[in-house]
Amino acid sequence: MKHLLSISDLNAMQAISILDTASELARISDGQVKKLPTLRGRTIVNLFAEDSTRTRISFEAAAKRLSADVINFSAKGSSLSKGESLKDTAQTLQAMGADAVVIRHSASGAAQRLADLEWMSGSVINAGDGTHEHPSQALLDAYTIRKHLGKGSRDLQGVRVAIVGDILHSRVARSNVLLLTLLGAQVVLVAPPTLLPVGVESWPVTISYDFDAVIAQVDVVMMLRVQQERMSDLFFPNSREYSRYFGLNSERMSKMSAQAIVMHPGPMIRGLEISADVADSARSVIVEQVSNGVNVRMAILYVLLAGGPLEMVTN
Ligand code: ASP
Ligand code: CP
């Protein structure tokens, strides 16, 4: 595997192997050795043409823990903001010898476009492209779910997940639907009809407009941010209405089953899709998602750039 552009690049065995590699790396980094020599001498470029906190920082931390050299590059402060094309930017990075480019971009398909350039010899990792996909987020979400609810199994057979909110603009939802169902989970999407994409009927999910009817039936409630920056129209009457029907507050959370967990990819808009007390509650694994993100991104870099058996990690 050279690139990670979409979850559809992976079969179940490959996805499970990334999760297993992340578990193994977590075990190692919980111990005495924090930094592994695996990617010494390799260069990883973080090309962020759209804002990010978690993804950018955790790819940087992951690359550094594997001893790679990291170049951070964001649109603001670069010649992208002078109108230079993505292609010319990529050519510049290639000329500097990048072994991998981690790209976030507001255009769906931007990562694929980079990978398709015939002179692009490094790996391309999609860190979120428009409303299309965010595969490393889905992998860290699956990893987090497996840790809490996997009952020792390597896949997610039988786990029931509700993904709630702005599905229409969410690359996290798209990647998660693909990955969670690939791993055997059952997914229900809960959203107002205006925030569901055209063609959603053909996705391998069930759909509900009634959060209260779904909440007691699932093991995972994954809340999504309302992505105002991608909305040119009015998709719901007002914030209060939205929170009332599709927000997660403590009253609604009290209907969840005993072991069920609350997730959110972040950034959260507290008070809109999730209340502050829910976000900070014992059921919330939102902060843990962020820490798991580092191990999962180490695993992605490891699998794409080092390959080979995992035993090599410690040598
Ligand atoms: N951080 C995630 C993304 O970039 C989710 C979000 O922004 O709401 O897709
Ligand atoms: N979850 C996520 O992608 O967060 P950032 O946008 O902060 O990277």
Residue nearest to atom 4 of ligand 2 (CA): 54
Please count the structural domains in the chain.
Answer: 2
Per residue in 5-36, pLDDT (tens digit) is 999 999 999 999 999 999 999 998 777 777 89
Find the radius of gyration of the CA atoms of the chain.
19
Say yes or no: CB of residue 135 within 6 Å of ligand 1.
Answer: no
At 73-132, the pLDDT tens digits run 888 878 888 888 888 988 888 888 899 999 999 999 999 999 999 888 899 999 999 999
Q: Which residue, 300, 238, 231, is CA-closest to 9?
A: 300
Distance CA 300, CA 19 (A): 9
**255 and 196 co-located in one domain:** yes
153 and 222 inside one domain = yes
Pair (257, 142) in one structural domain: yes
Dist CA 79 CA 116 (whole Å): 22
For residue 167, the one-letter residue type is: I
Q: What is the pLDDT of residue 67?
A: 97
C-alpha to C-alpha distance for 114 and 260, rounded to whole angstroms: 39
Regarding whether 151 and 127 lie in a shared domain, the answer is no
Are 174 and 124 members of one domain?
no
Residue ranges, the chain, pLDDT below 70: 308-315
Query: Does 2 map to a domain?
Result: no
- Indicate whether 1 belongs to any domain: no
Atom of ligand 1 nearest to the CA of 171: 9
Best residue for ligand 1 mutational test, from 57, 134, 286 (most atoms within 8 Å of Cβ): 134
Q: Is residue 84 part of a domain?
A: yes
Mutation test of ligand 2: which of 51, 55, 106 has the most ligand atoms closer than 8 Å to its C-beta? 55
DSSP per position, the chain: ---B--GGG--HHHHHHHHHHHHHHHHHHHSS-----TTTT-EEEEEESS--SHHHHHHHHHHHHTT-EEEEEESTTSGGGGT--HHHHHHHHHHTT-SEEEEEESSTTHHHHHHH-TT--SEEEEEEETTTB-HHHHHHHHHHHHHHH-TT-SS-TT-EEEEES--TT-HHHHHHHHHHHHTT-EEEEE--GGGS-TTGGGSSSEEES-HHHHGGG-SEEEE----GGG--S--SS-HHHHHHHH-B-HHHHTTS-TT-EEE--S---BTTTB-HHHHTSTTB-HHHHHHHHHHHHHHHHIIIII-S-GGGGG-
Q: Output the pLDDT for position 298.
A: 97
Q: Tell me the best of 139, 170, 231, 286 to mutate to test the pocket of ligand 1, counting ligand atoms within 8 Å of each CB and taking the most.
A: 170
Q: Is residue 91 part of a domain?
A: yes
Shared-domain flag, residues 158 and 146 = yes
Whether 71 maps to a domain, the answer reads yes
Q: What's the pLDDT score for residue 118?
A: 86
Q: How far is the CA of 159 from the centre of ligand 2 (A)?
A: 24
pLDDT at position 312 is 42
Task: For residue 38, tell me if it sits in a domain.
Answer: yes
239 and 307 share one domain: no
Are 121 and 155 part of one and the same domain?
no
Instruction: Say yes or no: 148 and 283 in one domain.
Output: yes
Q: What is the pLDDT of residue 75?
A: 83
Residues 275 and 148 placed together within one structural domain of the fold: yes
Give the residue numbers spanning the domain of 59: 7-133+290-314
* 278 within a domain of the structure (yes/no): yes
CATH of the domain at 55: 3.40.50.1370
- pLDDT at residue 81 in the model: 81
Q: Are residues 249 and 301 in the same domain?
A: no
Q: Specify whether 157 is located in the same domain as 283.
A: yes
Structural tokens at position 285: 């694994």
Q: What is the CA angle 201-223-184, rounded to 5?
A: 55
List all residues 6 or more positions away from 163 whose beta carbon is below 8 Å from its beta carbon. Answer: 173, 176, 177, 187, 188, 189, 190, 222, 224
242 belongs to a structural domain: yes
